[in-house]
Amino acid sequence: MEFKAKEIAEILGGTVDGNPEVTVTSFARIESGKPGTISFFANPKYEQYVYTSKADVIIVNKSFEPKEPVQATMVRVDDAYAAVAALLDYVTAKKRSYKRYRGCRSKVRWSAKVGKKVYVGDFAYVGKHSQIGDYTKIYEHVYIGDDVKIGSHCIIYPGVRIYPGSVIGNNVILHANAVIGADGFGFAPLEDGTWKKIEHTGNVIIEDDVEIGANTCVDKSQMGSTIVRQGVKIDNLCQIAHNVEVGRNTVMAAQTGVAGSTKIGEHCIIAGQVGIAGHLTIANNTTIGAQAGVLGKVRKEGEVLMGSPAFNLNDYMRSYAIFKRAGK
């Protein structure tokens, strides 16, 4: 990577405040910037570092008005946080090379259809009648079962297991050891106290632009499909149970578990270690705080929930104040 400040501004649709010819070769956090690096400033609590950072270029919001002299060249954009994400995408795309490769120790069944410039690493397996889209990269030790459909420009990291019949869209990223399409946790109690397994005959559908973290599991449905909608981002170590639907552009942090047949709305934010009971509906734009337990339907859009069982944040804070006083 090597860019001049004026090139960065052109890529991001911004303006240069300072030396447009200064060159950077790597990224750095603003508090640890050094010569030759580019940083960004979006959170007001880090403003002190704008004046002390050694970075040569800092991406800032157009509205930022410095209170002290700034040594770095500033690239002013509408949204610094979104701009640095776009610049990282741009740099990654330029580094990424697309070439057809099939490891000599991989196995692609003869009936599978593989698009152009697909990478299949050693010890990867692609099952019968599966389809792999153009420019997709399948790393080493990946298992892809029969009748799986994977779109273009996907990245499937080592150790991922994709069960038969799963459908994966374009630009999907599955991190190491994610499991897509395992049986859901469904058992019927019998009179003798044992449990009878309920067969799961459905599948998993993952739409475009989804990212799923390492060691996360998305279970297939009993009937129909478990669906992860377009733009969803799921962190590491999460559990999505059978027949769940996760709405578009919802984000979910690590160690969250969603029980079977729950429908989560669009643009929801679910923090770490949240537990969501089964057969619920979560309204659009709901925010659920860390370690909350959701036991009932969330009908009102835009609510912020905390606690276990979870309820409205304002009520929770008033209740918490009473809890603290009661313990003294």
Per-residue confidence in pLDDT tens, the chain, 328 aa: 799 999 999 999 999 999 999 999 999 999 999 999 999 999 999 999 999 999 999 999 999 999 999 999 999 999 999 999 999 988 887 777 677 888 899 999 999 999 999 999 999 999 999 999 999 999 999 999 999 999 999 999 999 999 999 999 999 999 999 999 999 999 999 999 999 999 999 999 999 999 999 999 999 999 999 999 999 999 999 999 999 999 999 999 999 999 999 999 999 999 999 999 999 999 999 999 999 999 999 999 999 999 999 999 989 998 888 888 876 6
Residue 208 located in a structural domain: no
Q: Are residues 66 and 102 in the same domain?
A: no
Active site residue 267: no
Q: Are residues 310 and 326 in the same domain?
A: yes
- Specify the pLDDT at position 328: 65
- Specify the pLDDT at position 1: 79
Domain membership of residue 303 as a residue range:
179-198+215-328
Q: Are residues 188 and 325 in the same domain?
A: yes
- CATH number of the domain residue 170 falls in: 2.160.10.10
- Specify the pLDDT at position 326: 77
Domain end residue (candidates: 177, 207, 239):
177
Q: Are residues 75 and 102 in the same domain?
A: no
Which is the catalytic residue, given 141, 175, 200, 242? 242
Residue 122 located in a structural domain: yes
- Specify the pLDDT at position 321: 85
Residue 148 located in a structural domain: yes
- Specify the pLDDT at position 93: 78
CA dist 212 and 223 (Å) reads 23
Closest Cα partner for 238 from 263, 270, 216, 220? 216
Overall domain count for the chain: 3
Q: Are residues 163 and 266 in the same domain?
A: no
- Specify the pLDDT at position 77: 97
Residue 203 located in a structural domain: no
Q: Are residues 192 and 310 in the same domain?
A: yes
Q: Are residues 69 and 106 in the same domain?
A: no
Residue 111 located in a structural domain: yes
Residue 119 located in a structural domain: yes
Q: Are residues 140 and 43 in the same domain?
A: no
Domain end residue (candidates: 38, 65, 95):
95
Q: Are residues 27 and 120 in the same domain?
A: no
Residue 206 located in a structural domain: no
Residue 315 located in a structural domain: yes
Q: Are residues 312 and 235 in the same domain?
A: yes
Domain end residue (candidates: 36, 60, 95):
95
Q: Are residues 265 and 221 in the same domain?
A: yes
- Specify the pLDDT at position 100: 82
CA dist 312 and 299 (Å) reads 12
- CATH number of the domain residue 87 falls in: 3.40.1390.10
Beta sheet of 37-40, edge-to-edge order: 15-17, 73-77, 57-61, 37-40, 26-27
Collect all residues with Cβ–Cβ distance below 8 Å to 52 and sequence separation of at least 6.
none
Q: Are residues 147 and 193 in the same domain?
A: no
